[in-house]
């Protein structure tokens, strides 16, 4: 069965100094200004509830009316400000970005009312530097579509910017819909969102249980382990050294302090990219290999709560809990879960959210001999604790290992994927992993 889904590709952008000035002054700054203006306008509209209730509109009609009134109000304000000499920087602002910033504000409020995020706040120079454009514009008189953002081999044509160099490290597929230009630190990127058709792959495995851990990012019920990404530890070590250096630079106006701060931000972005790339490889392999994936529904926010306590009741083992929280966040279990969920829709897999012994069902805290060893006190079943947890997760999801015919030992062909591409597997049998990692505690 073929499904039509959205997929986003991200490329590094290399604008000239003149183009950077245009982006910062004529694109990002006006978008922040108008977003904050729309946020203030929305607050004023919400304070006048009687005007809306008297109309007896449905929630959907109310949302459309609010968005329409906001778009008209902001365009009229923008037209007035363009004639003001003090707001000369608004004159070259691409007006097609107004609809996208209003949609962003509306989505932020929807998440807030669903308790999926905090209340929308004002955009600032340090955090919000992006602009969205429609890749394909309105139709021409001859019936063909006008290409608003044109992607070429090594350059991209952007309205009011002209040709901008970019690094197209891989080809994108499907019909482009939205292009987003953003700045992260001192680096510029362009993201193209495409609508493409995904065909369900023929999975070589039926069902699998996945346990997310700390010594190993994940372990499967087949007895395979995702090795720890050692690059993250290297970056973290470098980051801590720079943090100590930054704390000794007390003069806030110092050029060296600003340089160190920029280096810290660059390292943090590099760490994020490295973590996401590693998780992408693992989640793509799992969703292509298995038709049914059972995974534990972890509450990461509760797991990483601070142990400091308050003035009346002081916390215990604060430093140890702080270190554990840092390791949990570095593994990013929620990122892996979210990637599995949306990739399952691409490749036709099913995701099921779910110190029991998988052999006899006995529950005893003494079963867990150490961080890495599980040994049942009732039947004597012994296994790696992470692999044992993955088997429990699969059983709790309602799927039987015996009925599915799952193998009890790692397959010799665990590196063969159910795809036309020959990709080396991210997962390894437990015996191939470094024994030092098993005794390394939680990280």
Q: Do 182 and 223 belong together in one domain?
A: no
What is the signed CA dihedral for 23, 27, 31, 34, rounded to 10 degrees?
140
Which of 199, 234, 250 corresponds to the end of one domain?
199
Q: Do 78 and 213 belong together in one domain?
A: no
pLDDT at 71 over 80: no
pLDDT at 121 over 80: yes
The answer to whether position 149 is within a domain reads: yes
CA atoms lying within 13 Å on the CB side of residue 363:
2
Q: Do 157 and 227 belong together in one domain?
A: no
Q: 122-149 as b/e, with b when 16 or more CB fall inside 10 Å?
A: ebeeeebbbbbbbbeeeeeeeeeeeebb
The answer to whether position 443 is within a domain reads: no
Q: Do 340 and 413 belong together in one domain?
A: yes
Binned at pLDDT 50, 70 and 90, residue 19 comes out as very high
Lowest mean per-residue pLDDT among 206-215, 300-309, 410-419: 410-419
Q: What is the mean pLDDT of residues 152-176?
A: 92
If one compares 434 and 197, the residue with the highest pLDDT of the two is 197
If one compares 375 and 189, the residue with the highest pLDDT of the two is 189
Q: Do 221 and 190 belong together in one domain?
A: no
Q: Which tokens go with 404?
A: 């599915």
Q: Do 102 and 233 belong together in one domain?
A: no
Which of 131, 166, 199 corresponds to the end of one domain?
199
User: What's the pLDDT score for residue 342?
Assistant: 87
User: What's the pLDDT score for residue 348?
Assistant: 81
Strands across the sheet containing 205-212: 350-353, 290-295, 205-212, 218-220, 224-226, 428-429
Q: Do 6 and 26 belong together in one domain?
A: yes
d(CA 174, CA 42): 36
The answer to whether position 111 is within a domain reads: yes
User: What's the pLDDT score for residue 93?
Assistant: 82
The answer to whether position 385 is within a domain reads: yes
Domain span holding position 381: 205-438
Q: Do 21 and 59 belong together in one domain?
A: yes
The highest-confidence range among 156-160, 202-206, 390-394, by mean pLDDT, is 156-160
Which of 203, 217, 180 is CA-nearest to residue 333?
A: 217
The highest-confidence range among 137-141, 306-310, 389-393, by mean pLDDT, is 137-141
pLDDT at 199 over 50: yes
Q: Do 166 and 249 belong together in one domain?
A: no
Which of 340, 326, 335, 219 is CA-nearest to residue 276?
A: 335
CB 5 within 8 A of CB 188: no
User: What's the pLDDT score for residue 432?
Assistant: 57
Binned at pLDDT 50, 70 and 90, residue 376 comes out as low
Q: What is the mean pLDDT of residues 39-52?
A: 64
User: What's the pLDDT score for residue 312?
Assistant: 59
Q: Do 291 and 320 belong together in one domain?
A: yes
Q: What is the pTM of this model?
A: 0.71
Task: Return the SS3 of 274.
Answer: helix
User: What's the pLDDT score for residue 313?
Assistant: 62
Q: What is the mean pLDDT of residues 123-136?
A: 89
Q: What is the mean pLDDT of residues 156-180?
A: 92
d(CA 276, CA 96): 32
Give me the chain's average pLDDT, please: 75
Q: 159-177 as b/e, with b when 16 or more CB fall inside 10 Å?
A: eebeebebeeeeebebebe
CB 419 within 8 A of CB 201: yes
Query: In the chain, what percentage of residues exceed pLDDT 90?
Result: 23
pLDDT at 378 over 90: no
Which of 157, 178, 199 corresponds to the end of one domain?
199
Binned at pLDDT 50, 70 and 90, residue 218 comes out as confident
Q: What is the mean pLDDT of residues 208-220?
A: 78
Please count the other Cβ atoms lying within 10 Å of the Cβ belonging to residue 364: 12
Binned at pLDDT 50, 70 and 90, residue 89 comes out as confident
Q: Do 332 and 258 belong together in one domain?
A: yes
pLDDT at 186 over 80: yes
Q: Which tokens go with 111?
A: 């998440």
The answer to whether position 380 is within a domain reads: yes
The answer to whether position 121 is within a domain reads: yes
pLDDT at 239 over 90: yes
Please give the tally of structural domains in the chain.
2
* Bridge-based pairing state of the strands 224-226 and 2-14: unpaired
Q: Do 260 and 384 belong together in one domain?
A: yes
Q: What is the mean pLDDT of residues 395-401?
A: 50
Binned at pLDDT 50, 70 and 90, residue 79 comes out as confident
């Amino acid at each position: 069965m073929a499904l039509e889904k959205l997929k986003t590709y991200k490329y590094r952008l290399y604008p000239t100094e003149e183009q950077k000035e245009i982006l910062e002054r004529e694109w990002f700054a006006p978008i922040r200004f108008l977003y904050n203006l729309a946020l203030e306008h929305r607050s004023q509209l919400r304070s006048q509830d009687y005007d809306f209730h008297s109309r007896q509109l449905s929630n959907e009609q109310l949302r459309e009316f609010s968005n329409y009134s906001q778009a008209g109000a902001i365009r009229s304000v923008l037209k007035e400000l363009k004639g003001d000499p003090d707001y000369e920087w608004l004159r070259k602002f691409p007006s097609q970005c107004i609809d996208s910033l209003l949609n962003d504000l509306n989505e932020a409020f929807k998440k807030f009312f669903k308790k999926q995020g905090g209340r929308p706040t004002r955009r600032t120079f340090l955090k919000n530097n992006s602009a969205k454009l429609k890749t394909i514009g309105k139709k021409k008189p001859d019936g063909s579509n006008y290409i608003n953002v044109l992607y070429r081999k090594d350059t991209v044509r952007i309205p009011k910017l002209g040709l901008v160099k970019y690094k197209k490290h891989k080809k994108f597929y499907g019909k482009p819909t939205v292009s987003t230009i953003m700045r992260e630190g001192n680096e510029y990127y362009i993201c193209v969102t495409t609508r493409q058709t995904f065909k369900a792959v023929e999975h070589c495995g039926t069902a699998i249980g996945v346990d997310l851990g700390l010594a190993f990012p994940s372990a499967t019920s087949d007895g395979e382990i995702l090795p720890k990404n050692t690059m993250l530890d290297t970056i973290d070590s470098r980051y801590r050294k720079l943090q100590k250096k930054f704390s000794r630079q007390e003069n806030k106006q110092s050029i060296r302090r600003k340089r160190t701060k920029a280096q810290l931000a660059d390292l943090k972005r590099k760490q994020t990219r490295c973590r996401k790339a590693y998780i992408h490889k693992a989640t793509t392999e799992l969703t292509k290999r298995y038709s049914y994936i059972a995974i534990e529904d972890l509450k990461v926010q509760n797991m990483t709560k601070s142990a400091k306590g308050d003035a009346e009741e002081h916390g215990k083992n604060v430093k140890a809990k702080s270190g554990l929280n840092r390791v949990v966040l570095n593994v990013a279990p929620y990122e892996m879960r979210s990637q599995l969920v949306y990739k399952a829709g691409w490749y036709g897999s099913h995701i099921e959210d779910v110190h029991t012994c998988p052999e006899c069902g006995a529950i005893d805290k003494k079963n867990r001999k150490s961080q890495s060893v599980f040994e049942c006190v009732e039947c004597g079943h012994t296994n790696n604790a992470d692999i044992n947890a993955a088997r429990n997760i699969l059983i709790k999801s309602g799927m039987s290992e015996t009925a599915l015919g799952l193998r009890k030992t790692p397959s010799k062909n665990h590196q063969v994927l159910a795809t036309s591409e020959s990709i080396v597997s991210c997962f390894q049998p437990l015996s191939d992993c470094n024994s030092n990692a098993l005794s390394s505690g939680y990280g």
